[in-house]
């Protein structure tokens, strides 16, 4: 279960977040929407535990996977190594299975520069799901992709979520992504921004 109770968050003298409440049961999925600059990524970083300087409290599952906007791959490591370096307990067989799930089963020895943009995104997605995390946090990872590739990635993400049963918080500007991911759309409002749990 994820229980977010943020009372406030400031950067310097600027208050970005006001009261933000979000309670999700295991396996529940939400898409976090709101205008640019309202504080979606800030709240997501707080949920992840990456930002600890806020008023309030977050109770989160033990295992969390976070996917950033860019694929953030290590160019000098092959696909297996790109997965295993972030999951030291995983074996090459685990990494191979994760690659199979995203359609990169034959690319384990390839380096990121030998992959297409879409394949690089698939590798980043495999890394996100390899940890079998209870909570998956996605910070607009598909925003800059062309429509066909974005549709592929969303479908793949939904399948991986269906298999893993993970709870999801997905930051996006595009409400249609919620439908594809079988997630509930929730909106941040106001200045400072507030959020009410679905």
**Interface ranges with ligand ATP (CB under 6 A):** 11, 16, 34, 36-42
- Which is nearer to ligand ATP, 32 or 123 (by Cβ)? 32
d(C-alpha 50, C-alpha 193), whole Å: 19
Q: Is the dihedral of CA 124, 129, 131, 137 positive or negative?
A: positive
d(C-alpha 68, C-alpha 81), whole Å: 19
CB of 35 to ligand ATP, least distance (A): 7
CB of 126 to ligand ATP, least distance (A): 24
Burial bucket for residue 165 (CB in 10 Å: 0-12, 13-18, 19+): exposed
CB of 168 to ligand ATP, least distance (A): 17
Cα Rg, the chain, nearest whole Å: 17
Which of 7, 1, 40 is closest to 23 using CA atoms? Answer: 1
Residues facing residue 136 across a β-bridge: 65, 168
CB of 58 to ligand ATP, least distance (A): 16
Match 């249609």 to its residue by tokens. Answer: 176
Tokens coding 188: 């941040």
- Which is nearer to ligand ATP, 124 or 188 (by Cβ)? 188
- Which is nearer to ligand ATP, 132 or 187 (by Cβ)? 187
CB of 160 to ligand ATP, least distance (A): 23
- Which is nearer to ligand ATP, 38 or 161 (by Cβ)? 38
- Which is nearer to ligand ATP, 144 or 163 (by Cβ)? 144
């Amino acid at each position: 279960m994820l229980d977010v109770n943020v009372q406030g968050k400031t950067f310097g003298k600027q208050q970005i977040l006001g009261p933000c409440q979000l309670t999700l049961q295991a396996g529940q999925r939400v898409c976090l929407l709101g205008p640019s600059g309202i504080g979606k990524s800030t709240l997501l970083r707080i949920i992840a535990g990456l930002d600890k300087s806020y008023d309030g409290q977050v109770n989160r599952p033990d295992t969390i996977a976070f996917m950033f906007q860019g694929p953030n791959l290590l160019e000098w490591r092959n696909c297996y190594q790109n997965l295993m370096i972030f999951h030291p307990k995983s074996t090459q067989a685990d990494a191979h299975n994760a690659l199979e799930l995203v359609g990169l089963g034959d690319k384990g020895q390839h380096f990121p520069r030998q992959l297409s943009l879409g394949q690089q995104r698939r590798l980043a997605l495999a890394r996100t799901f390899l940890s079998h995390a209870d909570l998956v946090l996605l910070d607009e990872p598909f925003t800059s992709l062309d429509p066909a590739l974005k549709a592929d990635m969303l479908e793949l993400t939904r399948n991986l979520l269906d298999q893993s049963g993970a709870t999801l918080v997905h930051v996006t500007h595009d409400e249609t992504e919620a439908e594809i991911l079988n997630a509930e759309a929730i909106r941040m409002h106001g200045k400072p921004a507030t959020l009410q749990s679905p």
